[in-house]
Structure 1
């Protein structure tokens, strides 16, 4: 499995970010061919402070090849092109081969 980890920094207007992200951006992303799963997490500082990262999204694909094909598709390109429309705090994207161990 191949995973795209997207780390969104604190936006200038969190309410506007959330509105756009959940109602416009995520519906675009869900159309990317080969996308198997999306996980979205809002962060919080363990000490009560505001972390630099506001939101973390993971997008899972069957393989690195499926990831490349998905992001290279018209839907993937449209989703990538949409990021500057709402990510006012900046964003970091990291691709990763998923390595897990079953702890159950």
Structure 2
């Protein structure tokens, strides 16, 4: 099982519409990626390690797939449409990490 994490850095001028991200963007993701997408989770940053610290990421979206091949097969045909939706919810460039889930 793999996890694709799309993380949005918390910069001084960041804008992020968490409602759009959760309700509209992830509906699009689920529709386009179909049954290859096994689960999703969205996190919205509150603080860093100490209460007075800003979170490193304003938001993170996590998606799981059975394999890397399954992710690429589902995502590849729709990458242009998914990326075109990003300006509807944020002005920051995401950082993506693909990981193998060990536990």
TM-score, normalization by structure 1: 0.78
- Mind listing any 5+ residue stretches in structure 2 that lack a counterpart? none
The alpha carbon displacement at 1:62 in A equals 0.7
Equivalents in 2 of 1:41, 1:66: separation in Å?
24
The alpha carbon displacement at 1:8 in A equals 1.0
Matches within 5 A, 1:1-104: 1-10=1-10, 12-14=14-16, 17-31=17-31, 32-33=33-34, 34-43=36-45, 44-48=47-51, 49-74=53-78, 76-100=79-103
Give the length in aligned residue pairs. 97
Equivalents in 2 of 1:87, 1:95: separation in Å?
21
Is the 2:3–2:99 contact (alpha carbons within 8 Å) kept by the matching residues of 1?
yes
SS for the counterpart of 2:14 is coil
Task: Please tell me the root mean square deviation across aligned C-alpha atoms, in Å.
Answer: 1.9
TM-score, normalization by structure 2: 0.78
- Mind listing any 5+ residue stretches in structure 1 that lack a counterpart? none
Equivalents in 2 of 1:20, 1:96: separation in Å?
26
